[in-house]
Structure 1
Amino acid sequence: MLTRFDDFPIHQTPDPISTPATGEKDFYERYWFNGYSKAGDMYLGVGTARYPHLGIQDCGISIVHNGVQHAFHASARANSEPTDLGVGPFNLEIIEPMKVCRVVLEPNETGFSADLTFEARTAAIEEPRHHWSDGHRRIMDTTRFTQFGRWHGWIAYDGLRMEIDRTETYGTKDRSWGVRPVAGGDTRGAPQAPRAMGLFFLWAPLHWDDMCSHYQLFEDTLGRPRFHVGAFLPAYDFANDIPGVEDPGVESMHRLEHRLEFEPGSRMIKAATLAMTSLENDARHEIAFEKQFTYRMKGIGYSHPTWPHGAWKGELAMESERWNLAEVDDLAFENQHVQHLMKVRMGDRQGIGVLEQSIFGPYRPYGLEGHVAAPG
């Protein structure tokens, strides 16, 4: 099927652009954003993804304020034109690639609505290609880039309307594509024999007054690194000041380290110290994290029991929900993938950002056993 992209010289295979190069049903294209106040009292998440082989486009918006997390979910039949990122009343507009995006949620039956603009503060940084196998087949094979920015606009929910100020609201854009497990999975073949699979993932994009820093780490059950990326990125006052899609001024890091402290009785990170070393001058940089509160990624579909990614819910389905942060079961599977809003310190610098954790299965360095059990 031809689309508007087919008029550009960007083809990688003889097929039209709308035809994925892989036949994997789990192939996806995802946009993901977070946003948070400099004061540390509000967190916002937005996500939308297209699953070409499943014919589904879904989305979510979720906000934490005053100890409550509110969430909007929607799913629909995917549009035949991949540049149309609408899901019912939701739409994501790419105003200027790699610089400005706009999220619009028109008034609808759930009581959620929004008009939010994300403006880049840095160039994009490409993360290493992610591979993960379940022992029989590759179940994850993705590429992702991260970009830092600011938000402005407004969001309304539960009878409230919040204005989002560009000078007070930082955020991150996460753009990924490839193959990643979605709802249902592939049930063909013999049942898999029990084995000790695990996932240890940390992701920490941070804003400082004069720059941004990025830390991403994926390790196996023994603590051996599978892939990682660390960087300091120059920050700019306006998107048009950014020198290009990638910035030659980025300082790359290696030797990523972590020391985590967990909440009693769970795997939720209570406090952390992360460190990484410059490839340019071998200087080691240590960052201390102070948690403000925890955002559950199920608010935009991750591990959600009834609104998972890539699930067929009909031509168009929408729903909203809310929960008190103090009442969340930190041992439930659906609540293991989270982002903690963190105030951070690095020497004399103070900043703010998130520390995302996805820690499943055994992990020897911290004495973790079972699937979601707390440290022993």
Structure 2
Amino acid sequence: MKPAPLDEFPVHQTPLSMAQVSTSDRNFYDRNYFNAHDRSGEVFLVTGFGVYPNLGVIDAFATVRHGDAQRSVRFSDALESRSTESVVGGYRIEVVEPLRSLRVVCEHEDLSMDLRWEGSFEAVLEERHILMDGPRTMLDASRFAQVGSWSGMLNVDGEDFVVDPAVWLGTRDRSWGIRPSGAPDPQERFAEEPREGFWWTYIPLRFDDFALVIILQESPDGHRSLNHASRVFADGRIEQLGWPRMEVDYRAGARHPEHVRVHLTTPLGEPLLLEIDTLLGIPLSMGSGYVGDPAWSHGRWMGRDWSESVSYDMTSPDVTAMLPYNVVDHVARARCNGAEGWGMFEHANMGRHDPSGFKDWVDMAK
């Protein structure tokens, strides 16, 4: 094995070369995620880039929903060596200033962009994320999140969007660790004893004077296995906001969250009421490569120098039938004790979830 370019820098954390990660788990990953919107609820971008050292794969995607149309392009290639460069096919990420400013470029005839990210507040390191499936560890990862603004250009199917930082906002995260990647692991026992449900909520929001980052995960009986709620101020102060209590108004006949109330508590015991209305949404298994996409998923070997472009009619019966079984990223318009904010409401409520009143995978809101 050859040394990696990263071996030139004093960043080692194990006796191994930086060409290797400290675990032999095939599902180790290292990923960027971004979203962007113009606060109109008419256009929404979700994009990301990942490397999978133990699978020898590198890939990226960009997905834009405009009204009822959604366009996705993705790139994949062999990962030859880990380095500071984040490039695959026509996609690249440039770190202009760590933890503050980045450039994201996608070059494809159906979807192109050249965008500059500027963080509005300090990045927040979230609680370590662990998800178990019986005795099996499905996910064990770390992540930091940040809210900010975008500038530059975006073109989707021949239509130009001028990305003005006074209007265009978004959130991003960097995560790394173990999560299902590439070809599915053998299920064996777990194919006969599937999980009863999956409940997940992730809410990064930007206000004028502060940012909120909330991340919650619960088992079917309502036991909370991950709880993070923090408020970040411009001077870098971070305060914890306790144990959030969340109420979701779902659309009748579906599991689409229309309005959300999150009850938070400051360190002094003062209540904070966060209210969220969801606007445009992107289901992450349609074009973005997250779990459930039948055509392409993160870390999957597609061959060298592979690229693909797909489009979706978000009103088609095939799409709407799958929405209750998706993690969906929504543009979020929020109010917190009178202040207005914008960001993302990422949510999944699949299968049984006792606090929501859902009994099984086909039960929908009344």
Q: Is this a same-fold pair by TM over 0.5?
A: yes
**Pair 1:44-2:45 in alignment:** yes
Tell me the secondary structure at the aligned position of residue 55 of structure 2: coil
1:365 is aligned, of 348, 352, 355, to: 355
**Pair 1:307-2:296 in alignment:** yes
1:251 is aligned, of 216, 225, 239, to: 239
Tell me the residue number matched to 2:272.
Answer: 285
Q: What is the percentage of aligned positions where both structures have the same residue?
A: 28
How far the C-alpha of 1:275 sits from its partner, in A, is 1.7
How far the C-alpha of 1:273 sits from its partner, in A, is 0.8
The 5-angstrom pairing of residues 1-376 of structure 1 reads 1-106=2-107, 108=108, 110-187=109-186, 190=189, 192-235=191-234, 247=236, 249-279=237-267, 281-297=268-284, 298-302=286-290, 303-327=292-316, 329-332=319-322, 336-371=326-361, 373-375=363-365
Tell me the secondary structure at the aligned position of residue 37 of structure 2: strand
Aligned partners of 2:74 and 2:309 also within 8 Å: yes
Q: Which amino acid aligns with 1:359?
A: N
* 5+ long unaligned stretches in structure 2: none
Tell me the secondary structure at the aligned position of residue 315 of structure 2: helix
Q: Supply the distance in 1 between the matched residues of 2:323 and 2:77 (Cα, whole angstroms).
A: 26
Tell me the residue number matched to 1:238.
Answer: none
How far the C-alpha of 1:51 sits from its partner, in A, is 0.4
Q: Supply the distance in 2 between the matched residues of 1:113 and 1:196 (Cα, whole angstroms).
A: 39
Q: Supply the distance in 2 between the matched residues of 1:111 and 1:218 (Cα, whole angstroms).
A: 36
How far the C-alpha of 1:192 sits from its partner, in A, is 4.5
Tell me the secondary structure at the aligned position of residue 154 of structure 1: strand
How far the C-alpha of 1:176 sits from its partner, in A, is 0.3
Aligned partners of 1:46 and 1:62 also within 8 Å: yes
Aligned partners of 1:44 and 1:61 also within 8 Å: yes
For 1:294-316, what per-residue CA distance to the aligned partner results, in whole angstroms no more than 9, with x for missing partners? 22223321132102111111102
Alignment CA distance shift 1:223-1:334 (3 Å)? closer
RMSD value over aligned CA atoms? Answer: 2.0
* 5+ long unaligned stretches in structure 1: 236-242
Q: Supply the distance in 1 between the matched residues of 2:128 and 2:66 (Cα, whole angstroms).
A: 34
Alignment CA distance shift 1:84-1:274 (3 Å)? same
Tell me the secondary structure at the aligned position of residue 44 of structure 2: strand
Q: Supply the distance in 1 between the matched residues of 2:64 and 2:76 (Cα, whole angstroms).
A: 19
Aligned partners of 1:196 and 1:362 also within 8 Å: no
Q: Supply the distance in 1 between the matched residues of 2:165 and 2:128 (Cα, whole angstroms).
A: 32
Tell me the secondary structure at the aligned position of residue 128 of structure 2: strand
Aligned partners of 1:266 and 1:330 also within 8 Å: no
TM-score (norm 1): 0.90
How far the C-alpha of 1:115 sits from its partner, in A, is 0.7
Aligned partners of 1:331 and 1:372 also within 8 Å: no
Give the 4+ runs in structure 1 shifted more than 4 A.
Answer: 188-192
Aligned partners of 1:71 and 1:321 also within 8 Å: yes
Q: Supply the distance in 2 between the matched residues of 1:56 and 1:334 (Cα, whole angstroms).
A: 30
Q: Supply the distance in 2 between the matched residues of 1:346 and 1:194 (Cα, whole angstroms).
A: 42
Aligned partners of 2:353 and 2:359 also within 8 Å: yes
Q: Which amino acid aligns with 1:257?
A: R
How far the C-alpha of 1:368 sits from its partner, in A, is 1.4
Aligned partners of 2:197 and 2:360 also within 8 Å: no
Q: Supply the distance in 2 between the matched residues of 1:61 and 1:287 (Cα, whole angstroms).
A: 30
Aligned partners of 1:331 and 1:373 also within 8 Å: no
Q: Supply the distance in 1 between the matched residues of 2:325 and 2:84 (Cα, whole angstroms).
A: 32
Tell me the secondary structure at the aligned position of residue 86 of structure 2: coil
Q: Supply the distance in 2 between the matched residues of 1:179 and 1:333 (Cα, whole angstroms).
A: 26
What is the aligned residue count? 362
TM-score (norm 2): 0.93
How far the C-alpha of 1:61 sits from its partner, in A, is 0.7
For 1:265-298, what per-residue CA distance to the aligned partner results, in whole angstroms no more than 9, with x for missing partners? 221212111121112x111111111222222223
